[in-house]
A and B are shown apart, each in its own frame.
Chain A
Amino acid sequence: MQIPVGDYLAVSAALFITGAVGFLLRRNPITMLMAIELMWNAGNIAFAAFARSFVDMSGQIFVFIVITVAAAEAAIALAIVVMVFRRRPHVDVDDISIMRG
Protein backbone atom coordinates (compact mmCIF):
# COMPACT_ATOMS: atom_id res chain seq x y z
CA MET A 1 0.00 0.00 0.00
CA GLN A 2 1.27 3.32 -0.84
CA ILE A 3 0.46 6.32 1.23
CA PRO A 4 -0.29 9.26 -1.07
CA VAL A 5 2.11 12.12 -0.95
CA GLY A 6 -0.67 14.49 0.15
CA ASP A 7 -0.90 12.72 3.49
CA TYR A 8 2.76 13.25 4.13
CA LEU A 9 2.32 16.88 3.28
CA ALA A 10 -0.60 17.20 5.65
CA VAL A 11 1.54 15.84 8.50
CA SER A 12 4.36 18.11 7.46
CA ALA A 13 2.06 21.16 7.39
CA ALA A 14 0.60 20.29 10.77
CA LEU A 15 4.09 19.95 12.24
CA PHE A 16 5.20 23.17 10.69
CA ILE A 17 2.22 25.11 11.98
CA THR A 18 2.74 23.65 15.44
CA GLY A 19 6.35 24.74 15.31
CA ALA A 20 5.57 28.21 13.97
CA VAL A 21 2.86 28.86 16.51
CA GLY A 22 5.07 27.52 19.25
CA PHE A 23 7.89 29.77 18.16
CA LEU A 24 5.68 32.83 18.07
CA LEU A 25 3.86 32.27 21.31
CA ARG A 26 6.39 30.81 23.71
CA ARG A 27 8.96 32.96 25.49
CA ASN A 28 11.25 30.36 26.85
CA PRO A 29 14.21 30.06 24.50
CA ILE A 30 14.56 26.33 24.96
CA THR A 31 10.97 25.75 23.99
CA MET A 32 11.44 28.11 21.05
CA LEU A 33 14.44 26.12 19.88
CA MET A 34 12.36 22.98 20.05
CA ALA A 35 9.70 24.73 17.99
CA ILE A 36 12.30 25.59 15.40
CA GLU A 37 13.37 21.92 15.33
CA LEU A 38 9.77 21.04 14.60
CA MET A 39 9.77 23.39 11.62
CA TRP A 40 13.02 21.96 10.29
CA ASN A 41 11.64 18.48 10.51
CA ALA A 42 8.36 19.44 8.90
CA GLY A 43 10.47 20.54 5.97
CA ASN A 44 12.41 17.28 6.11
CA ILE A 45 9.23 15.21 5.89
CA ALA A 46 8.11 17.18 2.86
CA PHE A 47 11.52 16.71 1.21
CA ALA A 48 11.57 13.01 1.85
CA ALA A 49 8.01 12.57 0.64
CA PHE A 50 8.62 14.41 -2.58
CA ALA A 51 11.87 12.52 -3.13
CA ARG A 52 10.04 9.31 -2.87
CA SER A 53 7.21 10.51 -5.04
CA PHE A 54 9.41 11.88 -7.84
CA VAL A 55 12.04 9.16 -7.46
CA ASP A 56 14.73 11.81 -7.15
CA MET A 57 17.39 11.28 -4.53
CA SER A 58 18.35 14.90 -4.25
CA GLY A 59 15.44 15.54 -1.92
CA GLN A 60 16.76 12.95 0.50
CA ILE A 61 20.24 14.35 0.26
CA PHE A 62 18.82 17.68 1.20
CA VAL A 63 17.32 16.18 4.32
CA PHE A 64 20.79 15.22 5.47
CA ILE A 65 22.05 18.71 4.87
CA VAL A 66 19.15 20.15 6.81
CA ILE A 67 19.80 17.84 9.70
CA THR A 68 23.41 18.86 9.78
CA VAL A 69 22.63 22.53 9.63
CA ALA A 70 19.91 22.12 12.24
CA ALA A 71 22.37 20.43 14.54
CA ALA A 72 24.87 23.20 14.06
CA GLU A 73 22.23 25.81 14.62
CA ALA A 74 21.00 24.10 17.75
CA ALA A 75 24.53 23.92 19.08
CA ILE A 76 25.14 27.65 18.55
CA ALA A 77 21.73 28.65 19.80
CA LEU A 78 22.05 26.52 22.89
CA ALA A 79 25.44 28.03 23.58
CA ILE A 80 23.92 31.50 23.40
CA VAL A 81 21.05 30.44 25.62
CA VAL A 82 23.40 29.00 28.17
CA MET A 83 25.39 32.20 28.22
CA VAL A 84 22.24 34.17 28.78
CA PHE A 85 21.14 31.81 31.56
CA ARG A 86 24.39 32.45 33.31
CA ARG A 87 23.74 36.14 33.37
CA ARG A 88 20.17 36.23 34.56
CA PRO A 89 17.99 33.86 36.58
CA HIS A 90 14.85 33.85 34.44
CA VAL A 91 15.02 33.87 30.74
CA ASP A 92 12.33 35.54 28.74
CA VAL A 93 13.31 36.35 25.17
CA ASP A 94 11.39 39.61 25.38
CA ASP A 95 13.85 40.77 28.02
CA ILE A 96 16.80 40.25 25.72
CA SER A 97 15.98 42.96 23.27
CA ILE A 98 19.08 45.05 23.80
CA MET A 99 20.28 44.42 20.25
CA ARG A 100 17.45 46.36 18.65
CA GLY A 101 18.32 49.27 16.36
Chain B
Amino acid sequence: MDEALLRSLTPGVIALLVRRGADFAAAEDAVQDALVEAVRVWPAGPSPGSPPRSGPGEPLRDPKGWLVTVAWRRFLDQARSDSARRRREELVDEEPAPGPASGVDDTLQLYFLCAHPSLTPSSAVALTLRAVGGLTTRQIARAYLVPEATMAQRISRAKRTVSGVRFDRPGDVATVLRVLYLVFNEGYSGDVDLAAEAIRLTRQLAAAIDHPEVAGLLALMLLHHARRATRTARDGSLVPLAEQDRGRWDTESITEGVAILQAALARDRLGEFQAQAAIAALHADAATAAETDWVQIVEWYDELVRLTDSPVVRLNRAVAVGEADGPRAGLAALAALHDSLPRHTAVAAYLHERDGDPATAARLYAEAARKAPNLAERDYLTRQAARLNAGRGR
Protein backbone atom coordinates (compact mmCIF):
# COMPACT_ATOMS: atom_id res chain seq x y z
CA MET B 1 0.00 0.00 0.00
CA ASP B 2 1.51 3.26 -1.12
CA GLU B 3 1.06 5.80 1.65
CA ALA B 4 2.49 8.62 -0.45
CA LEU B 5 -0.07 7.97 -3.19
CA LEU B 6 -2.88 7.82 -0.66
CA ARG B 7 -1.82 11.08 0.91
CA SER B 8 -1.52 12.84 -2.43
CA LEU B 9 -5.17 11.94 -3.11
CA THR B 10 -6.43 13.47 0.15
CA PRO B 11 -7.15 17.07 -0.91
CA GLY B 12 -8.93 16.04 -4.10
CA VAL B 13 -11.20 13.64 -2.23
CA ILE B 14 -12.06 16.22 0.45
CA ALA B 15 -12.84 18.80 -2.22
CA LEU B 16 -15.07 16.33 -4.06
CA LEU B 17 -17.09 15.68 -0.91
CA VAL B 18 -17.42 19.40 -0.33
CA ARG B 19 -18.73 19.91 -3.85
CA ARG B 20 -21.27 17.16 -3.24
CA GLY B 21 -22.64 19.17 -0.36
CA ALA B 22 -20.67 18.07 2.70
CA ASP B 23 -19.35 20.89 4.85
CA PHE B 24 -15.58 21.07 5.02
CA ALA B 25 -15.19 19.90 8.63
CA ALA B 26 -17.36 16.81 8.13
CA ALA B 27 -15.75 16.02 4.77
CA GLU B 28 -12.29 16.28 6.29
CA ASP B 29 -13.23 13.93 9.13
CA ALA B 30 -14.77 11.43 6.73
CA VAL B 31 -11.69 11.40 4.51
CA GLN B 32 -9.40 11.00 7.50
CA ASP B 33 -11.48 7.95 8.52
CA ALA B 34 -11.29 6.59 4.98
CA LEU B 35 -7.50 6.99 5.00
CA VAL B 36 -7.21 5.08 8.25
CA GLU B 37 -9.50 2.41 6.80
CA ALA B 38 -7.40 2.22 3.64
CA VAL B 39 -4.24 1.61 5.63
CA ARG B 40 -6.06 -1.13 7.51
CA VAL B 41 -7.63 -3.03 4.61
CA TRP B 42 -5.43 -2.42 1.61
CA PRO B 43 -2.88 -5.14 1.03
CA ALA B 44 0.79 -4.30 0.81
CA GLY B 45 0.50 -4.89 -2.94
CA PRO B 46 -1.63 -6.82 -5.39
CA SER B 47 -1.39 -10.50 -4.55
CA PRO B 48 -2.63 -12.90 -7.24
CA GLY B 49 -4.22 -15.39 -4.87
CA SER B 50 -6.15 -12.94 -2.77
CA PRO B 51 -9.90 -13.49 -2.67
CA PRO B 52 -12.08 -10.91 -4.34
CA ARG B 53 -13.07 -8.15 -2.01
CA SER B 54 -16.58 -7.19 -1.34
CA GLY B 55 -17.29 -3.55 -0.82
CA PRO B 56 -16.51 -0.42 -2.72
CA GLY B 57 -14.66 -1.86 -5.66
CA GLU B 58 -11.03 -2.79 -6.04
CA PRO B 59 -8.92 -0.27 -4.16
CA LEU B 60 -5.71 -0.93 -6.06
CA ARG B 61 -7.19 -0.27 -9.46
CA ASP B 62 -8.91 2.97 -8.55
CA PRO B 63 -7.62 4.24 -5.21
CA LYS B 64 -9.28 7.63 -5.57
CA GLY B 65 -12.66 6.12 -6.43
CA TRP B 66 -12.30 3.80 -3.44
CA LEU B 67 -11.49 6.67 -1.08
CA VAL B 68 -14.38 8.76 -2.41
CA THR B 69 -16.85 5.92 -1.95
CA VAL B 70 -15.70 5.03 1.54
CA ALA B 71 -15.41 8.65 2.69
CA TRP B 72 -18.83 9.50 1.31
CA ARG B 73 -20.38 6.56 3.19
CA ARG B 74 -18.64 7.70 6.36
CA PHE B 75 -19.96 11.15 5.85
CA LEU B 76 -23.52 9.88 5.34
CA ASP B 77 -23.28 7.64 8.41
CA GLN B 78 -22.17 10.60 10.43
CA ALA B 79 -24.85 12.86 9.01
CA ARG B 80 -27.39 10.16 9.85
CA SER B 81 -26.30 9.95 13.45
CA ASP B 82 -26.23 13.71 13.75
CA SER B 83 -29.37 15.63 14.36
CA ALA B 84 -29.30 17.14 10.88
CA ARG B 85 -31.78 14.59 9.58
CA ARG B 86 -33.45 16.73 7.00
CA ARG B 87 -30.16 17.61 5.43
CA ARG B 88 -29.12 13.97 5.34
CA GLU B 89 -32.26 12.90 3.51
CA GLU B 90 -31.69 15.46 0.84
CA LEU B 91 -28.16 14.19 0.36
CA VAL B 92 -29.16 10.53 0.20
CA ASP B 93 -31.85 11.32 -2.33
CA GLU B 94 -29.34 12.67 -4.74
CA GLU B 95 -26.69 9.94 -4.57
CA PRO B 96 -24.12 11.69 -6.71
CA ALA B 97 -22.42 10.37 -9.77
CA PRO B 98 -18.70 9.92 -9.07
CA GLY B 99 -17.61 11.54 -12.34
CA PRO B 100 -14.14 12.90 -13.00
CA ALA B 101 -13.06 15.66 -10.63
CA SER B 102 -11.22 18.77 -11.67
CA GLY B 103 -8.69 17.84 -9.01
CA VAL B 104 -6.28 20.69 -9.55
CA ASP B 105 -8.55 23.62 -8.75
CA ASP B 106 -10.09 21.82 -5.82
CA THR B 107 -6.70 21.13 -4.33
CA LEU B 108 -5.82 24.79 -4.65
CA GLN B 109 -9.02 25.80 -2.85
CA LEU B 110 -8.07 23.51 0.01
CA TYR B 111 -4.67 25.16 0.32
CA PHE B 112 -6.37 28.55 0.56
CA LEU B 113 -8.88 27.36 3.12
CA CYS B 114 -6.25 25.71 5.35
CA ALA B 115 -4.08 28.83 5.29
CA HIS B 116 -6.98 31.23 5.76
CA PRO B 117 -5.91 34.53 7.38
CA SER B 118 -8.37 33.99 10.25
CA LEU B 119 -6.23 31.06 11.46
CA THR B 120 -3.21 31.40 13.74
CA PRO B 121 0.02 30.12 12.18
CA SER B 122 0.06 26.94 14.28
CA SER B 123 -3.55 26.10 13.39
CA ALA B 124 -3.00 26.79 9.71
CA VAL B 125 0.05 24.51 9.76
CA ALA B 126 -1.81 21.70 11.52
CA LEU B 127 -4.85 21.94 9.26
CA THR B 128 -2.73 22.05 6.11
CA LEU B 129 -0.77 18.97 7.15
CA ARG B 130 -3.96 17.05 7.82
CA ALA B 131 -6.36 18.16 5.07
CA VAL B 132 -3.85 18.82 2.30
CA GLY B 133 -1.02 16.56 3.42
CA GLY B 134 -3.16 13.62 4.52
CA LEU B 135 -1.15 13.12 7.72
CA THR B 136 -2.92 11.67 10.73
CA THR B 137 -3.43 13.74 13.86
CA ARG B 138 -1.03 11.42 15.68
CA GLN B 139 1.71 11.98 13.12
CA ILE B 140 1.29 15.75 13.28
CA ALA B 141 1.27 15.70 17.09
CA ARG B 142 4.51 13.72 17.11
CA ALA B 143 6.13 16.02 14.61
CA TYR B 144 5.39 19.02 16.83
CA LEU B 145 6.00 17.21 20.13
CA VAL B 146 2.61 17.88 21.67
CA PRO B 147 0.02 15.37 22.98
CA GLU B 148 -2.32 13.92 20.37
CA ALA B 149 -5.36 15.31 22.22
CA THR B 150 -3.89 18.82 22.01
CA MET B 151 -3.29 18.51 18.28
CA ALA B 152 -6.79 17.08 17.75
CA GLN B 153 -8.27 20.11 19.49
CA ARG B 154 -6.06 22.49 17.55
CA ILE B 155 -7.30 20.96 14.28
CA SER B 156 -10.97 20.88 15.22
CA ARG B 157 -10.81 24.52 16.38
CA ALA B 158 -9.14 25.44 13.12
CA LYS B 159 -11.94 23.72 11.23
CA ARG B 160 -14.54 25.60 13.23
CA THR B 161 -12.74 28.87 12.52
CA VAL B 162 -12.96 28.37 8.76
CA SER B 163 -16.40 26.77 8.78
CA GLY B 164 -18.04 29.89 7.39
CA VAL B 165 -15.47 30.48 4.67
CA ARG B 166 -16.77 30.07 1.13
CA PHE B 167 -15.01 27.24 -0.64
CA ASP B 168 -15.21 28.72 -4.11
CA ARG B 169 -13.46 32.04 -3.53
CA PRO B 170 -9.82 32.39 -4.49
CA GLY B 171 -7.51 33.03 -1.55
CA ASP B 172 -4.16 34.69 -1.08
CA VAL B 173 -1.17 32.67 -2.30
CA ALA B 174 1.12 34.58 0.08
CA THR B 175 -0.60 33.15 3.17
CA VAL B 176 -0.27 29.62 1.79
CA LEU B 177 3.43 30.16 1.12
CA ARG B 178 4.02 31.39 4.66
CA VAL B 179 2.41 28.23 6.05
CA LEU B 180 4.52 25.97 3.83
CA TYR B 181 7.65 27.94 4.75
CA LEU B 182 6.87 27.38 8.45
CA VAL B 183 6.47 23.65 7.92
CA PHE B 184 9.77 23.44 6.03
CA ASN B 185 11.63 25.50 8.58
CA GLU B 186 10.50 23.44 11.55
CA GLY B 187 13.65 21.33 11.35
CA TYR B 188 13.91 17.60 11.49
CA SER B 189 12.54 16.64 14.87
CA GLY B 190 9.93 13.95 15.23
CA ASP B 191 9.36 10.95 13.02
CA VAL B 192 7.59 12.76 10.19
CA ASP B 193 9.98 14.43 7.80
CA LEU B 194 8.39 17.88 7.75
CA ALA B 195 10.95 19.30 5.32
CA ALA B 196 10.22 16.60 2.76
CA GLU B 197 6.51 17.00 3.38
CA ALA B 198 6.74 20.77 2.84
CA ILE B 199 8.56 20.17 -0.45
CA ARG B 200 5.90 17.70 -1.56
CA LEU B 201 3.09 20.12 -0.72
CA THR B 202 4.84 23.06 -2.39
CA ARG B 203 5.48 20.96 -5.49
CA GLN B 204 1.80 20.03 -5.58
CA LEU B 205 0.87 23.69 -5.17
CA ALA B 206 3.23 24.68 -7.98
CA ALA B 207 1.41 22.19 -10.22
CA ALA B 208 -1.94 23.75 -9.32
CA ILE B 209 -1.08 27.41 -9.76
CA ASP B 210 1.29 29.30 -11.99
CA HIS B 211 2.95 31.84 -9.69
CA PRO B 212 6.62 32.89 -9.58
CA GLU B 213 6.70 33.07 -5.78
CA VAL B 214 5.42 29.50 -5.47
CA ALA B 215 8.26 28.49 -7.77
CA GLY B 216 10.61 30.68 -5.70
CA LEU B 217 9.67 28.93 -2.46
CA LEU B 218 9.99 25.49 -4.06
CA ALA B 219 13.46 26.43 -5.36
CA LEU B 220 14.43 27.79 -1.94
CA MET B 221 13.38 24.56 -0.25
CA LEU B 222 15.17 22.34 -2.76
CA LEU B 223 18.39 24.36 -2.47
CA HIS B 224 18.39 24.16 1.32
CA HIS B 225 17.30 20.53 1.35
CA ALA B 226 20.31 19.74 -0.84
CA ARG B 227 22.63 20.63 2.06
CA ARG B 228 20.71 18.67 4.63
CA ALA B 229 23.13 15.78 5.04
CA THR B 230 26.01 18.16 5.67
CA ARG B 231 24.33 20.57 8.09
CA THR B 232 25.03 18.48 11.17
CA ALA B 233 27.97 16.32 12.18
CA ARG B 234 27.56 12.74 13.38
CA ASP B 235 27.27 13.91 16.97
CA GLY B 236 24.41 16.26 16.05
CA SER B 237 26.51 19.42 16.26
CA LEU B 238 25.90 22.20 13.77
CA VAL B 239 28.26 22.55 10.79
CA PRO B 240 28.28 26.13 9.45
CA LEU B 241 27.88 26.69 5.72
CA ALA B 242 31.56 27.52 5.17
CA GLU B 243 32.67 24.22 6.71
CA GLN B 244 30.14 21.92 5.06
CA ASP B 245 31.42 19.15 2.79
CA ARG B 246 30.14 20.54 -0.50
CA GLY B 247 30.91 17.27 -2.28
CA ARG B 248 28.02 15.74 -0.33
CA TRP B 249 25.48 18.37 -1.34
CA ASP B 250 22.65 16.84 -3.35
CA THR B 251 23.41 18.02 -6.89
CA GLU B 252 20.14 16.70 -8.28
CA SER B 253 18.18 18.82 -5.83
CA ILE B 254 20.40 21.84 -6.60
CA THR B 255 20.00 21.44 -10.34
CA GLU B 256 16.24 21.24 -10.04
CA GLY B 257 16.10 24.20 -7.66
CA VAL B 258 18.25 26.40 -9.89
CA ALA B 259 16.20 25.52 -12.99
CA ILE B 260 12.93 26.33 -11.24
CA LEU B 261 14.39 29.58 -9.92
CA GLN B 262 15.71 30.70 -13.29
CA ALA B 263 12.35 30.10 -14.94
CA ALA B 264 10.66 32.10 -12.19
CA LEU B 265 13.13 35.00 -12.32
CA ALA B 266 12.75 35.19 -16.09
CA ARG B 267 9.16 36.29 -15.55
CA ASP B 268 10.33 39.46 -13.90
CA ARG B 269 7.96 39.41 -10.94
CA LEU B 270 10.44 39.30 -8.11
CA GLY B 271 9.32 38.37 -4.61
CA GLU B 272 11.01 37.55 -1.33
CA PHE B 273 11.15 33.78 -1.85
CA GLN B 274 12.76 34.13 -5.27
CA ALA B 275 15.33 36.51 -3.77
CA GLN B 276 16.05 34.13 -0.88
CA ALA B 277 16.37 31.26 -3.36
CA ALA B 278 18.77 33.33 -5.45
CA ILE B 279 21.03 33.72 -2.40
CA ALA B 280 20.84 29.99 -1.70
CA ALA B 281 21.65 29.31 -5.37
CA LEU B 282 24.76 31.50 -5.20
CA HIS B 283 25.98 29.47 -2.22
CA ALA B 284 25.19 26.25 -4.06
CA ASP B 285 27.11 27.51 -7.05
CA ALA B 286 30.38 28.04 -5.16
CA ALA B 287 32.66 25.00 -5.35
CA THR B 288 34.39 26.18 -2.16
CA ALA B 289 33.31 28.67 0.49
CA ALA B 290 36.13 30.99 -0.64
CA GLU B 291 34.69 31.15 -4.14
CA THR B 292 31.32 32.46 -2.93
CA ASP B 293 30.16 35.50 -4.89
CA TRP B 294 29.47 37.69 -1.85
CA VAL B 295 29.11 40.87 -3.90
CA GLN B 296 26.14 39.41 -5.74
CA ILE B 297 24.76 38.02 -2.49
CA VAL B 298 24.81 41.53 -0.97
CA GLU B 299 22.90 42.77 -4.02
CA TRP B 300 20.23 40.12 -3.46
CA TYR B 301 20.02 41.12 0.20
CA ASP B 302 19.48 44.70 -0.94
CA GLU B 303 16.54 43.43 -3.01
CA LEU B 304 15.25 41.51 -0.01
CA VAL B 305 15.49 44.59 2.22
CA ARG B 306 13.53 46.49 -0.38
CA LEU B 307 10.89 43.73 -0.57
CA THR B 308 10.49 42.93 3.12
CA ASP B 309 12.15 45.68 5.14
CA SER B 310 12.82 42.98 7.73
CA PRO B 311 15.46 43.56 10.45
CA VAL B 312 16.41 39.87 10.24
CA VAL B 313 17.22 40.35 6.56
CA ARG B 314 19.32 43.41 7.44
CA LEU B 315 21.24 41.31 9.95
CA ASN B 316 21.98 38.64 7.35
CA ARG B 317 22.95 41.40 4.97
CA ALA B 318 25.52 42.64 7.50
CA VAL B 319 27.13 39.20 7.46
CA ALA B 320 27.27 39.26 3.66
CA VAL B 321 28.71 42.79 3.69
CA GLY B 322 31.36 41.56 6.12
CA GLU B 323 32.37 38.92 3.60
CA ALA B 324 32.18 41.16 0.55
CA ASP B 325 33.79 44.34 1.91
CA GLY B 326 35.60 43.15 5.02
CA PRO B 327 34.66 42.85 8.70
CA ARG B 328 34.81 46.61 9.39
CA ALA B 329 32.12 47.23 6.78
CA GLY B 330 30.09 44.38 8.27
CA LEU B 331 30.39 45.85 11.76
CA ALA B 332 29.33 49.25 10.42
CA ALA B 333 26.23 47.68 8.87
CA LEU B 334 25.58 45.86 12.13
CA ALA B 335 25.88 49.05 14.17
CA ALA B 336 22.73 50.37 12.52
CA LEU B 337 20.70 47.45 13.88
CA HIS B 338 19.23 47.01 17.35
CA ASP B 339 21.18 44.53 19.44
CA SER B 340 18.00 42.86 20.70
CA LEU B 341 17.64 41.17 17.29
CA PRO B 342 17.99 37.40 17.47
CA ARG B 343 21.56 36.34 16.57
CA HIS B 344 22.80 39.95 16.59
CA THR B 345 25.43 39.08 19.22
CA ALA B 346 26.52 35.96 17.34
CA VAL B 347 27.05 37.98 14.16
CA ALA B 348 28.99 40.63 16.12
CA ALA B 349 31.20 37.90 17.59
CA TYR B 350 31.95 36.48 14.16
CA LEU B 351 32.80 39.86 12.66
CA HIS B 352 35.04 40.84 15.59
CA GLU B 353 36.96 37.60 15.24
CA ARG B 354 37.49 38.23 11.53
CA ASP B 355 38.57 41.74 12.43
CA GLY B 356 41.36 40.28 14.55
CA ASP B 357 39.87 40.87 17.99
CA PRO B 358 39.57 37.40 19.57
CA ALA B 359 39.04 38.73 23.10
CA THR B 360 35.90 40.68 22.17
CA ALA B 361 34.78 37.83 19.91
CA ALA B 362 35.13 35.26 22.72
CA ARG B 363 33.14 37.42 25.13
CA LEU B 364 30.41 37.99 22.53
CA TYR B 365 30.26 34.30 21.54
CA ALA B 366 29.72 33.37 25.18
CA GLU B 367 27.01 36.02 25.46
CA ALA B 368 25.40 34.84 22.21
CA ALA B 369 25.37 31.26 23.53
CA ARG B 370 23.32 32.37 26.53
CA LYS B 371 20.77 33.94 24.20
CA ALA B 372 20.68 31.11 21.63
CA PRO B 373 17.16 29.92 20.77
CA ASN B 374 18.11 26.30 20.26
CA LEU B 375 20.49 23.74 21.70
CA ALA B 376 22.55 23.10 18.58
CA GLU B 377 23.28 26.80 18.16
CA ARG B 378 24.05 27.26 21.83
CA ASP B 379 26.56 24.41 21.73
CA TYR B 380 28.09 25.75 18.55
CA LEU B 381 28.52 29.25 20.00
CA THR B 382 29.88 27.91 23.28
CA ARG B 383 32.50 25.95 21.32
CA GLN B 384 33.48 29.08 19.39
CA ALA B 385 34.00 30.97 22.66
CA ALA B 386 35.97 28.04 24.10
CA ARG B 387 38.14 27.79 20.97
CA LEU B 388 39.06 31.48 21.14
CA ASN B 389 39.68 31.40 24.89
CA ALA B 390 41.95 28.34 24.53
CA GLY B 391 43.82 30.10 21.71
CA ARG B 392 44.50 33.03 24.01
CA GLY B 393 45.95 30.64 26.60
CA ARG B 394 43.67 31.71 29.43
B is a partner of A? no
